[in-house]
Structure 1
């Protein structure tokens, strides 16, 4: 793994850099060969709280986790736990898909994985489906609608591009916009 570590409102010390690389480097054990990907890590301190944000782009999926704590080292430990859960879930999904394809007689190339690493059996249970009409609006109007409804995200059709977009409330109180490529 190649690490891209940067700090916001703080200086990233060598000890902190080593700790991040050591802890996140443990995720290599979920793969039979080392990951040839960049790991993007952002460390930030805001109002006395330390936040770490980690993004790992993999083939077909992006593994991302964020954690906030009073102590940066504790935040790093917590974010690694989240990342490990996501990696196990992703690998279990790949294994299941490969098994289903093989049972149908299809040959599918999957990433090499070690089955022993996936002790947790992950079940996804969708309990509700919601359908609604998308009203064309701009992002600012979508944020106002989201706030009026008291939701943390809002799906809308962008009146400028006609694409489906999502606005969401970030942990820091600001807003984000998700657009398709």
Structure 2
């Protein structure tokens, strides 16, 4: 997995880099077929002070790119919300891959269709 962490109006310190890497371990534990990951951290000069810290991530998995964004008052809180959202999307993607290969009911025989409907 290639990991790129970049910051806008923000210096990416080793502590922030390590925090993001530790949070990404949970994602890798659920779905290990991640090809490329780009994390974008920013501090915006918004009038709403409670939504100044922004975190975005693009995760490229086989055949799809997942994009998640979150904003919060604290950068670490934004990263936590980001990883929670990404975890839900990864699990949803994994479930879609798992369920995708099922045989359609119209392709089954009549006896098998009765069993599948029950």
TM-score interval w.r.t. the shorter chain? 0.7 to 0.9
**Does 2:38 align with 1:37?**
no
Give the counterpart of 2:74 among 71, 74, 80. 71
Question: Where does residue 28 of structure 1 map in the other structure?
Answer: 28
Spell out the pairing of 1:48-59 with structure 2 (5 A cutoff): 49-59=52-62
Distance in 2, matches of 1:93 and 1:60, equals 12
Q: Does 1:100 align with 2:103?
A: yes
RMSD: 1.9
- 8 Å contact 2:56–2:68 — kept in the other structure? yes
Q: Which position in structure 2 is the counterpart of 1:114?
A: none
- Residues of 2 paired with 1:75 and 1:89: CA distance? 21
* TM score, norm. by length of structure 1: 0.52
Query: Structure 1, unaligned stretches of length 5 or more?
Result: 106-181
Distance in 2 between residues matched to 1:15 and 1:55, nearest whole Å: 21
SS in 2 for 1:37: strand
Shift of 1:35: 3.5
- TM-score normalised per structure 2: 0.78
Structure 1 residue runs of 4+, over 2 Å off?
none
Aligned to 2:114: none
**CA–CA distance in 1 between the matches of 2:34 and 2:96?**
21
State which of 42, 46, 52 in structure 1 corresponds to 2:44. Answer: 46
Superposition pairs for residues 124-163 of structure 1, below 5 Å?
none
Alpha carbons 2:3, 2:38 under 8 Å: kept: yes
SS of equivalent to 1:66: strand
The count of aligned residue pairs is: 102
By how many angstroms is 1:36 displaced?
5.4
Q: Distance in 2 between matches of 1:44 and 1:11?
A: 9
Matched, 1:6 2:23: no
Deviations 1:15-43 (A, max 9, x none): 00000011022111123xx4451210000
Matched, 1:62 2:65: yes
